[in-house]
Structures are given as structure tokens and as C-alpha cells.
Structure 1
């Protein structure tokens, strides 16, 4: 399982981020909640491809609907390296009660607006 490194994640976000160790631990705990028998290895991702285009032991990749093109690009790179393509599993994005995409940016924005509204009251 890949989790964005602090450097890679902070280059793409304007809001504060939890440290890599905490984000990786959260992913691990969630996966073990879903299936305690899972054997999970979590690696930091320093770019959009991570180890997926190099590692011959990988056979699938899970991505959000919006990042499927990145998974297709990974498979092109794998083919150029003589590796088998990864099976791509696209996971639906989680939405809020209004149908808007739920993301760390949206959550931080909501928290900031809520805090600002409380301080103005």
C-alpha cells in the first residue's frame, strides 16, 4: 500500500497535513479493521508512480476514479520495462451530504470556515 510522503503530499496541498507516520498508521488500522488477516506493507510515495511501475511482484493497483489515467500510465511504463500490466481497481470517491467529493482539502476548508464563523460570533 502506498501513502504519499510528507514532501510529495505537501507539494500538492495548501493546507496542513498529518505526518506520514500518522497517515500510514491510519491506513494500516483501517485495512486491518476490514480484514485482520491481511498482510500489509506500506511504502511512502514520492511521486505519482511510486514503486508500481518497477515492482514485478505487484499485480494490481487501487486508485480513485479521478486517478485512473495515472494507473493507465503506470501500465504503459510497466509494458516498456517488460512487466505484466496491473489490474486496475477504481474506487468510488466518498461524497458529503450534498454530493461533493470528500477530500482532505474539503475537510480542512470546512474546519477553517467553521472556526472562522465561531470566532466572528
Structure 2
């Protein structure tokens, strides 16, 4: 178990892949930071309509409760691809999907350049439906 763990994303429409990410993060971390993209940043790279930040945050909180995840956590608004992961010195691990593993590698490279310890990367396999990755754009 790690003391402080970070996970991040848009969490536009919560699906099984998000459930898996959240469960893994809460299972391995005593304290969880969830980086949630701001409306402005979320809409930069997405073709589909993104729910408002407030609604996405509310949906994550409901999901955490529904999954009975007990850890202390904090949801933080992020305006870039890295959020607190490249800034917060006392983080221990980052939870990513296979799809976002390259981002975690970038984060560790940035942390190394800043003299911060690298994060342990915990990779959650992609959730599949009909042999295709589940995504909010499919919903």
C-alpha cells in the first residue's frame, strides 16, 4: 500500500474502465488525489460533448460512494496533462490505464528533471466490451 496516490482524467461519462481505475487507486493508496480536468482543458482535445466540471465531480463522488471506497481523497481541478503529478513532492504512485501509460512515463521524466522521486506506475488493463476498449464516446 502506498501513502499518497494520484489518478487523473476527464471522467466524462463514468464507465467500467473508470470503475477499475478508481478501485485500483483506492485499493493501493491511503490517500487519493483525483485530478479532474477543467472544462476548458477537457474540451481542447475531445470531439464529444463533455459534461460540466461540477457534474463530473459530482458523478465521481457518487461512484466512490457506490463502490464503497473508504479512503480519504481529494478531487483537484487540473488545467494541463500533468496536474499535481509533476509538482507534489510526497506522491508515491500513479494509477493509469494501458492507454495513458505514456503520460505517466512523461510525468516521471519531468519529476526526475525536477529532482523529485519517480512515481511507481500502476497500470490497469483497459476494460473491454465486444473486444474493444470501453470509452465515454461509446456511451
TM-score by length of 1: 0.79
Q: Distance in 1 between matches of 2:64 and 2:122?
A: 16
The structure with more helix, counted as a fraction of residues: 1
Unaligned runs of 5+ in 1: 108-121
Closer, same or farther in 2 for the Cα pair 1:90/1:15, shift >3 Å?
Answer: same
- Of the candidates 51, 54, 72, which is equivalent to residue 84 of structure 2? 51
1:35 CA displacement? 4.0
- Of the candidates 16, 19, 27, which is equivalent to residue 52 of structure 2? 19
- Higher relative contact order structure (alpha carbons within 8 Å, sequence separation ≥ 6): 2
- Of the candidates 41, 44, 58, which is equivalent to residue 8 of structure 1? 41
Structure having the higher Rg:
1
Residue equivalent to 1:67 = 100
- Of the candidates 104, 110, 116, which is equivalent to residue 136 of structure 2? 104
The structure with more strand, counted as a fraction of residues: 2
Root-mean-square deviation (CA), in Å?
Answer: 1.4
**4+ residue runs of structure 1 moved beyond 6 angstroms?**
none
Q: Distance in 2 between matches of 1:57 and 1:30?
A: 26
1:86 CA displacement? 0.7
1:43-86: CA deviations, max 9, x gaps?
Answer: 11211111101111211111111111110110111111111111
Q: Distance in 2 between matches of 1:55 and 1:87?
A: 14
